[in-house]
Amino acid sequence: MVRWAAFCCVLVPVVLLVYGTSLGGAAGTALGLAAVTAACRVLLRRSERGLRAERHSRS
């Protein structure tokens, strides 16, 4: 899932440039998408660790 998000972080700015958005706007979009992707990755890992710890404590 994170790989698709990283792919989109590259693809979306390229598409924006093709359709005439400024370089600064496309770069800002890329940075914003990268930040959201990184935050989601951190939250996903925390969630997975929590689930593992919960399963371990039940056993």
pLDDT at position 18 is 96
Q: Which amino acid appears at position 46 of this protein? A: R
Distance CA 39, CA 19 (A): 28
Helix intervals (H) in the chain: 2-18, 23-58
pLDDT at position 1 is 65
Task: Considering only CA atoms, give the Rg of the chain.
Answer: 17
The string over 3-29, giving b where at least 16 C-beta atoms fall within 10 Å of a residue's C-beta and e elsewhere, is eeeeeebeeebeebeeeeeeeeebeeb
Q: How do residues 1-59 score in pLDDT, each as one tens digit? A: 667 877 888 899 999 999 999 999 999 999 999 999 999 889 999 998 887 777 777 76
pTM of the model: 0.74
